[in-house]
Amino acid sequence: MNEPPKEPVKYVQSHVYLPYHYVAGDYRARYLRALKDKKILGSKCSRTGKVFVPPLLNSPESFAPATEFVEVADKGVITTFCIVNIPVIGRDLQIPYVAASVALDGAALSIFALILEVQPEAVRMGMRVEAVWKPDGERHGDHEDIMYFRPTGEPDEPMESFIRRL
């Protein structure tokens, strides 16, 4: 034998494994702890009064410190959304599902949210939604304390009310 085999190996399995520690800072820790009590905290810009959720130390617009915590509502409006038709590894959701940006009442910016309990085709920009929380005793102060958002059935909001809060 003075040749390697004719039939090559076609693939090798590779595995990238990156363990790391996430350390929540002061503001983010307070925000997460509050979720345990079904409260969503934002921080208020000392110059413009805008409320950022999750709380930021400084306004990304005015750079002024946001030194005051404010509770915002656990309901709001869908500002934009997409229907996900491709399964994501590690995310155990039945497709299609809706991933949306939700501007909570009282917040100047929107957060990322999963929308369930509605047909994906029925989701609209301007639709009113509310958080569905994990039951008492099962919340641990992490993002999964809000399982998802669902429509409230209230009338839609006009685009002018959320166009600047995408």
Partner 1 sequence: MSTPATAEPIAPMRQQLVMEFPYKHSTGETIGRFLAGLKEQKKIWGQRVAGQGVVVPPVGYSELDGSGGGEWVEVKDTGVITACAIVHHPVEKLHPCSSPFAFVLVKLDGADTALAHVVKGDLDKVKVGARVAAVWAADEARQGSIRDLECFRVTG
Q: Does 63 bind partner 1 (CB under 8 A)?
A: no
The correct pick among 36, 38, 71, 133 for binding partner 1 (CB under 8 A) is: 71
155 binds partner 1 (CB under 8 A): no
CB 81 within 8 A of CB 115: yes
50 C-beta neighbours (distance < 10 Å), count: 20
CB of 143 to partner 1, least distance (A): 11
Q: Does residue 86 bind partner 1 (CB under 8 A)?
A: no
Q: Does 139 bind partner 1 (CB under 8 A)?
A: no
Q: Is 28 in the site for partner 1 (CB under 8 A)?
A: yes
Tokens of 140: 């641990």
Nearer to partner 1 (CB atom), residue 72 or residue 114:
72
User: Residue 70 in contact with residue 100, Cβ under 8 Å?
Assistant: no
Nearer residue to partner 1 within complex by CB, 35 or 127: 35
Of 33, 34, 57, 31, the C-alpha closest to 44 is 57
The correct pick among 11, 119, 136, 137 for binding partner 1 (CB under 8 A) is 11
Q: Name which of 39 and 124 has its Cβ closer to partner 1.
A: 39
CA angle 17, 89, 29 (to 5 degrees): 70
Task: Measure Cα distances from 15 to 12, 18, 165 in Å.
Answer: 10, 10, 40
Query: Which residues contribute to the site for partner 1 (CB under 8 A)?
Result: 1-24, 26-30, 32-33, 39, 43-44, 55, 66-71, 141-142
